[in-house]
Amino acid sequence: MTPAGERSLRGVGALLACAILGGVPHARAADPQPYRVQLVSTGLSDLDSTVKATSQLQALRTSAPVNPFGLIARARGDVDRLMTVLQSFGYYAGSVVVTINGLGLDAPDLGNTLRALPKGTDAHIKIAVTPGPLFRLGRIDVEGALPAGMQDQLGLSSGAPAVASDVLDGGTRLQTALQDRGYAFAKVAAPVAYEDPQKQVLNLTFQVTTGPLVRVGEIRFEGLRRVHESVVRRRLLLHVGDPYDAAKVEKAREDLLGLGVFSTVSIELASAPDNLGRVPITFRMTERARHTVALTGGYSSDLGGSGGVTWGNHNVFGNAEELDLTATMINLGGTATTGVGYDTTAKYILPDFGARDQSLQFALSGLKQDLQAYDQTAASAGVTLSRKLSSVWTVNAGISGEHETDIQEGATFYYTLVSLPFSILYDSTDLSSPLTDPTHGTRGALNLTPTRSLGEGIQPNATFTITQANLAHYFDLSELLGKAPGRTVFAMRAMAGVALGAGEFSLPPDQRFYAGGSGTVRGYRYQAVGPQFVNDYNPVGGTSMNAVNLELRQRIGESFGAVLFADGGGVGEGLNPFTLTRHCYSTQTVPPTPTAASTEKHSDSSCVGIGTGIRYYTPIGAIRLDFAMPTVRREDDDRFEVYVGLGQAF
């Protein structure tokens, strides 16, 4: 039993946090004493890791040299720190013994022994931590009035290991549960723990003050500059007079951040309820920079390099409207390109258009690309209405028009396309950005694009529908392997597409399906999987496509990662996207006019690429470098392909 017979676990947690972060280093002595540290293993890997991270003898050995007496003081400080570590793991009867050159820290001649060491000779420090018996939780009491059933929110039970972090988390859970029930001023003090060494248990007492049951009072906003208050109020699902719920207040804060015009949003409650039993709430926000400039770049051995700039205005008229102007140079070199191109876009987005979680987007774009498959110059415009149905489901619908000029195998075609794109999106990965590494959950999309083609193509005035589907799932293997969450992930994706209502050559070249490259089958050149022209092996494209991607992702340290992957897929001329094994490639003659005949010869090979890659993780996503090679190498295939990009491949 301690002198006072009790311990404050808040102190235990605070001391542990300070120990892990490290203390204030001692000043450099005039004659520092070098030393080396031996940590005797406890046989418990988690405990050993925390002991090593907490020991200042270990952490400050090279960065903060000390003289002999400073070394002794540092060692004595470690005894207290490491005892705190033991207690935080539930070992309240353990011991920490630190010796220097075989002498205990209280040995009267320790100082003289250190001073007598020849200059440059290391002192040998041995740290022996003995856990002793594991204490378990005994009686768990709560002092203070609690609503019925609320004590269960502690999540603690007698007989469980007396781990300090679990006990402290229990108090936090209870306080949060009370605040979610309307007790905005509820407080749960750090528990007082009473040791019972004979029974090897820790008895706990939580002091709880619930305070009054309140409702939401006046809602105020501070920090608005250009953003109109009416926009912010429309965004909130929190209203005056609602029962107070801390979780709903936090959700309101997240909703305001989701507008994209604030860099920070914080919450401040009044210190006491008003005379109506309501608690005023103040949201304090900082508006983000109105204008931003972002640079982008990428490289693959097939498409070459790309570089661009995006200028954004995130609050055009004070209603959180967003205007983005992007200009990108593309096809800077590359084995699948024949010239430099450009890709320019202008997007204007109206958030909460007509209803909450519904946006309207206007887009204009210009594109020029010179590829082995075809050369294209196009201009397009479109309007898209996006509706977020829930946290995982989103629906998009719109109308777009495009005028394009395509050159393929020496023949020039002009198209005017009018389409009604519709898509359903599903995402349960719980990520705020597509560049963030997914570690669990599913992403899926179904896209339907009915299109009317007007103009001078092989089949003028054609009507067709492009249908595409993809599904990706992420398996976190870390728990299975006994590692921290998100360290080892197996990712898989399946894609399929089919064009209904049009033959292969009645589709504009850019509307056909292709495979090969970083987006589908790595190891093959961009668009090189599928039918090819017999005279020059350039891609033809097809009316159906499928692809499967498998990837094992392993984090290494904090900033690096490695992947192993296999991709497979094919492109065909039929209406079934799942019977494509014969279509890794085929050769045929292009019909230059709608009446010309075509001949083709098929290969029985499948296109599968395998490879490996490295990742460097940054705050804006992983920088990706992949190397891939084809398993079936055709006459015109490269030995390998290289891909560089931002974010995972899928």
| Sign of the alpha-carbon dihedral angle for 348, 424, 388, 354 | positive
Question: What is the CATH T-level fold of the domain 136-209, as seen in this structure?
Answer: Ubiquitin-like (UB roll) (3.10.20)
pLDDT of residue 299: 86
Report residues of the chain scoring pLDDT below 70.
Answer: 1-30, 455-460, 574-606
Tokens coding 554: 């392993």
Domains 136-209 and 215-287 share a fold: yes
b/e per residue 291-323 (b: at least 16 CB within 10 A): eeeeeeebbbbbbbbbebebebebbeeebbbbb
pLDDT of residue 20: 36
b/e per residue 160-174 (b: at least 16 CB within 10 A): eebbbebbbebbebb
pLDDT of residue 24: 36
Q: Do 613 and 522 form a contact (C-beta atoms < 8 A)?
A: no
Q: Structural domain boundaries of the chain?
A: 7-130, 136-209, 215-287, 291-646
- Of 641, 499, 483, 620, the C-alpha closest to 567 is 641
pLDDT of residue 541: 87
Q: Tell me, what DSSP letter sits at residue 406? A: E
Q: Do 282 and 267 form a contact (C-beta atoms < 8 A)?
A: yes
What type of residue sits at position 596?
A
Q: Which CATH code of 3.10.20.310, 3.40.190.80, 3.40.50.720, 3.30.230.70 fits the domain covering 215-287?
A: 3.10.20.310
Residue-wise pLDDT for 304-359, tens only, equals: 899 999 999 999 999 999 999 999 999 998 888 999 999 999 999 999 999 999 99
Contacts of 307 (CB under 8 A, 6+ apart): 295, 296, 297, 328, 329, 332
Question: Is CATH 2.40.160.50 what the domain over 291-646 is classified as, yes or no?
Answer: yes
- Of 257, 317, 320, 323, the C-alpha closest to 286 is 257
pLDDT of residue 247: 94
Residue-wise pLDDT for 79-130, tens only, equals: 999 999 999 999 999 999 999 999 999 999 998 899 888 888 999 999 999 9
pTM over 0.85: no
